[in-house]
A and B are shown apart, each in its own frame.
Chain A
Amino acid sequence: DAKTTQPTSMDCAEGRAANLPCNHSTISGNEYVYWYRQIHSQGPQYIIHGLKNNETNEMASLIITEDRKSSTLILPHATLRDTAVYYCIVRAVYGNKLVFGAGTILRVKS
């Protein structure tokens, strides 16, 4: 599975959009981009995933560049409860193995 690079930490004002970047320059054609988050003292929680098209669900939007070498997770209206570690993971289509990096600590501030 391809490696990902994320900033160590980010701050965001409450009510504003949080844009979390992820670089995955070695991603191959059969690999998806997944995002999980982990709130303090909880297990990771699935957010969204995509292959090459932009995706949106009730939690977030995922924007993948045309060359697929990077992506951005967007939380449209961040709340204090969105403070968490956000993991960007690249995974092959088949199999269910997730390889987590250190992730990005997002701090939403009032």
Chain B
Amino acid sequence: EAGVVQSPRYKIIEKKQPVAFWCNPISGHNTLYWYLQNLGQGPELLIRYENEEAVDDSQLPKDRFSAERLKGVDSTLKIQPAELGDSAVYLCASSLAPTSGGPQSSYNEQFFGPGTRLTVL
């Protein structure tokens, strides 16, 4: 079974240029996440989708970042314009939707892609 696919793996751009990252989640996973990971730190959630709906985008800097998940499958994360501080790894993850309503764990494992390493010059 294919894992989460991300492209490109590496991207180098000059500041003020636009950039886009693409993610293809695991087939059947209706929940998709975008994370930002700065060097030496753990990933930080940017946005979470349930199907095509963004259900948590509170950490997404909306002045320059945007995301979409048309048809509830693939997703694109865009930065326009990019700044020097945006240099980081952008991770995409997917999972089955969380369930709730009972005492048992409702956790569905998140599967991460390899990430896109962005360098802004």
Contact = CB atoms under 8 A, between A and B. Distances in A.
Contact of A96 (B43, B44, B95, B113): B95
Given A87-B42, A94-B100, A101-B42, A45 B107 contact: no
A45 B112 CA distance: 7
Given A32-B105, A94-B98, A94-B106, A100 B114 contact: no
A97 B57 CA distance: 12
B112 A96 contact: no
Contacts of A44: 43, 91, 93, 110, 112
Nearest to A50: B105
Contact of A49 (B42, B45, B97, B107): B107
A97 to B, nearest CB: 6
A43 B115 CA distance: 6
Contact of B107 (A43, A91, A100, A102): A91
Q: How large is the interface on B (under 10, 10 to 19, 20 to 34, 35 or more residues)?
A: 20 to 34
A94 B48 CA distance: 15
A98 B110 contact: yes
A93 B114 contact: no
B75 interface: no
B53 interface: no
Interface string B92-111: 01010110100001111111
B114 A96 contact: no
A56 to B, nearest CB: 16
Interface of A: 32, 34, 41-46, 49, 51, 85, 87, 91, 93-103
16 contacts: A32-B105, A46-B110, A46-B111, A87-B42, A91-B107, A93-B100, A93-B107, A94-B100, A94-B106, A96-B108, A96-B110, A97-B56, A98-B43, A99-B45, A100-B44, A101-B42
